[in-house]
Structure formats: C-alpha cells, structure tokens
Amino acid sequence: MISGILKYEPVVLAWVLNGGLAALLGNVFHLGSTKEAAITTILTAIAGIYSWIMTKDKVVSSLTAAISTIAVAASAFGLHLSSAEIGAGVAILSGIVALALRQNVSPSAGSGGGTNR
C-alpha cells in the first residue's frame, strides 16, 4: 500500500508525514517550544527539498518549499506560538502544500500511470 502511494503520490505522502510528525511533536512528546520549533522547521525543509526533487515544475516546488519553511520558522521562533498551535499550523500548511504540488508530479513509469519528466 505505501509503495503504491509512493509511486502515485510521493509529494502528498511527504507533506502528510510532515504534518503528522509536527502534530505529534506538538501534542504528544512535549519537548519544549524551542526544540519542537527547530524540529518542525527542519522537517518542513526536508519535505520541501523532497518535493523539489520529485516535481516537474521546479519553480513552483522551490517557492512553496521556501514559503512553507519560512512560515514555520516565523511562527515557531518569531510569533512564539505554543507547541500545539505550531503543530496544528504545520499540519494545515502541509495539507495545502501537498494539494498545491500534487498536480506537478507524474507517476513513475513502473506504476502504470505515466512517466516522470
């Protein structure tokens, strides 16, 4: 099942994982606001880099990666939001980014759905 999702929706899966991990960090692990802010910012940057690698349109993916990483860092370090608020915000932002980038990814040739460009 996961391999099928990776073939058809690799970027969506990356952003769903990012949002899920951010929500877990904010509501379950209670690491402290600075540590959680750093981890969620790094995870968002990694999801953005992965999206950039997997998408056809490098301009759109690089802009969304930069904007989402800056938004997470600003909310975590600049606005001093709580861990739960950061987790919820990252989860919502990740969903929006996943849907925005979804149209710029082609399924791999082996999945029967098309070709990578």
Task: Write out pLDDT tens, residues 44-92.
Answer: 899 889 888 888 778 888 888 888 889 888 887 888 788 788 888 888 8
- Tracing tokens 């750093």 back to the chain, one arrives at 38
Distance of CA 90 to the CA centre of its chain: 8
Mention every residue, 6+ apart, whose C-beta is less than 8 A from residue 112: none
Query: Residues 93, 99: contact at Cβ < 8 Å?
Result: no
CA distance 77 to 58: 28
- Structure tokens of 96? 């929006």
Whole-model pTM over 0.85: no
Q: Check: CB of residue 6 under 8 Å from CB of residue 109.
A: no
pLDDT at 59: 85
**Which amino acid, residue 92?**
I
